[in-house]
């Protein structure tokens, strides 16, 4: 399985608990839960800052700069403003569903971080099905979003929610297929082990996989240019049209936490996770996450929103075939190439990526004439 000299003997991936850890499991659980919640909340605030300032500068604006030095307290001000707002529930809303939706949308995002390693062995739970767990749990968010759309009893909410479900179901497939090709190289589903296997970051071994994962990931978490579930010029605010106050804050938080989750998984799968010279591992991890998020902001500023038929066509006609071919090629390479020659694989994969993207762009067509969605 291991085509690269991964040197699995030196890997001590059962280091999840130091031997002298007091209280064993529950202390471990408590400490890591606190770390994860702190990490997510802190980075979400950082992300909001990066997004608003970075996007502002890319559009030749300044971005928010009134609250605190360099506008650093803007996320705090936003949060306070949102929390002080009245919580309005529509009369005809399905009250229970409306109330439950933000929780169901947010909780799974937090749960994703349970298996993301911050440094070697520093995970809440080093599941041996880690990446499968991530895929499964991150899909639950969609249920929350659909509940929000349904429970609001508002046509715009429902439209946004239906778009969301359609898109997430479509984009899950290329997403999982690219994950599968990474797993094929490593031979393990555990995220910690995937990181340990990356002597060479997988972005080099799997350039096409990275590209596909990035696009599909952006689509899955409603990042622009695929943000048509909350396209404000078409359907007000999509599924959270009828939300205000604390519930809206949860959706807002979930949106950025999802972006953080996808950035963290991209970092883990393709950018060698916490590995890096000099700096401490957790810092490397955070830095890489921020860089990935910055690229998301960058694409968001650059690209206009796609139409719903373009979104679907991209998923089924572009990403899915490429992901399948990528999986096939990776499988062949893993079987045939000798372990000592990663550079052959890198060069071959880059060539294949360029070729495939050019080829598929040539044949990529949207449905002719009227498109019914």
Partner 1 sequence: MKFERYGIGIAKGLRVTIKHLFHHPVTVQYPEQRLNPSRRTRGNELIWDRTKCTGCATCAKTCPQGVIKIITSVSTEENKYVVEKFEVDTGYCIFCGLCVEACPYEALFMGYAYERAKYRRGELVQANEMLGASPERRPSGYMHPEIAAQLPRQTLLLERITEEE
Kindly list the residues in this chain that would bind partner 1 in the complex (CB under 8 A): 54, 56-62, 298-299, 301-303, 357-358, 361-362
Work out how close the CB of 163 gets to partner 1 at its nearest, in angstroms, rounded to a whole number.
23
- Do the Cβ atoms of 230 and 238 come closer than 8 Å? yes
The position carrying tokens 């929350």 is 144
Work out how close the CB of 286 gets to partner 1 at its nearest, in angstroms, rounded to a whole number.
21
Q: Which is nearer to partner 1, 66 or 92 (CB)?
A: 66
**Tokens encoding 180:** 């599968």
Q: Which is nearer to partner 1, 22 or 368 (CB)?
A: 368
Work out how close the CB of 158 gets to partner 1 at its nearest, in angstroms, rounded to a whole number.
32
Work out how close the CB of 133 gets to partner 1 at its nearest, in angstroms, rounded to a whole number.
33
Work out how close the CB of 186 gets to partner 1 at its nearest, in angstroms, rounded to a whole number.
29
Q: Which is nearer to partner 1, 195 or 211 (CB)?
A: 211
Work out how close the CB of 361 gets to partner 1 at its nearest, in angstroms, rounded to a whole number.
4
Other CB atoms closer than 10 Å to residue 90's CB: what's the count?
A: 16
Q: Which is nearer to partner 1, 183 or 208 (CB)?
A: 208
Q: Which is nearer to partner 1, 46 or 102 (CB)?
A: 46
Work out how close the CB of 59 gets to partner 1 at its nearest, in angstroms, rounded to a whole number.
7
Contacts of 69 (CB under 8 A, 6+ apart): none
Work out how close the CB of 73 gets to partner 1 at its nearest, in angstroms, rounded to a whole number.
17
Contacts of 277 (CB under 8 A, 6+ apart): none
- Do the Cβ atoms of 154 and 174 come closer than 8 Å? no
Contacts of 116 (CB under 8 A, 6+ apart): 123, 134, 191, 261, 264, 265, 268
Q: Which is nearer to partner 1, 128 or 302 (CB)?
A: 302
The position carrying tokens 């004439």 is 369
Q: Which is nearer to partner 1, 37 or 355 (CB)?
A: 355
Q: Which is nearer to partner 1, 43 or 211 (CB)?
A: 211
């Amino acid at each position: 399985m291991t085509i690269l000299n991964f040197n699995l003997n030196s890997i001590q991936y059962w280091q999840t608990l130091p031997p002298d850890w007091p209280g064993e499991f529950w202390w471990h659980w408590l400490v890591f839960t606190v770390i994860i919640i702190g990490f997510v909340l802190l980075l979400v605030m950082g992300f909001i800052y990066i997004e608003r300032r970075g996007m502002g500068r890319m559009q030749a604006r300044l971005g928010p700069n009134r609250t605190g030095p360099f506008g650093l307290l803007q996320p705090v001000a936003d949060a306070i403003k949102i929390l002080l707002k009245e919580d309005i529930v529509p009369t005809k809303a399905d009250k229970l569903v409306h109330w439950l939706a933000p929780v169901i949308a947010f909780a799974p995002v937090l749960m994703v971080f349970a298996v993301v390693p911050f440094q070697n062995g520093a995970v809440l739970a080093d599941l041996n099905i880690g990446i499968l767990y991530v895929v499964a749990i991150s899909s639950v968010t969609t249920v929350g979003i659909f509940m929000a759309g349904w429970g609001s009893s508002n046509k715009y909410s429902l439209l946004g929610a239906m778009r969301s479900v359609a898109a997430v179901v479509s984009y899950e497939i290329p997403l999982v297929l690219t994950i599968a090709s990474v797993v094929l190289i490593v031979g393990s589903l555990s995220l910690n082990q995937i990181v340990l296997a990356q002597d060479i970051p997988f972005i080099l071994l799997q350039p096409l996989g990275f590209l596909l994962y990035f696009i599909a990931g952006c689509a899955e978490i409603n990042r622009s240019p695929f943000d048509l579930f909350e396209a404000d010029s078409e359907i007000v605010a999509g599924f959270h049209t009828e939300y205000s106050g604390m519930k809206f804050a949860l959706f807002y938080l979930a949106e950025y936490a999802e972006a953080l989750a996808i950035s963290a998984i991209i970092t883990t799968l393709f950018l060698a996770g916490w590995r890096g010279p000099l700096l401490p591992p957790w810092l490397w991890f955070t830095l890489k996450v921020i860089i990935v998020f910055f690229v998301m902001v960058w694409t968001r500023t650059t690209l206009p929103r796609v139409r719903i038929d373009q979104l679907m066509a991209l998923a089924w006609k572009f990403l899915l075939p490429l992901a399948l071919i990528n999986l096939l090629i990776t499988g062949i390479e893993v079987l045939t190439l000798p372990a000592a020659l990663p550079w052959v694989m890198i060069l071959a994969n880059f060539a294949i990526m360029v070729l495939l993207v050019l080829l598929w762009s040539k044949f990529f067509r949207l449905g002719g004439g009227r498109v019914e969605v």
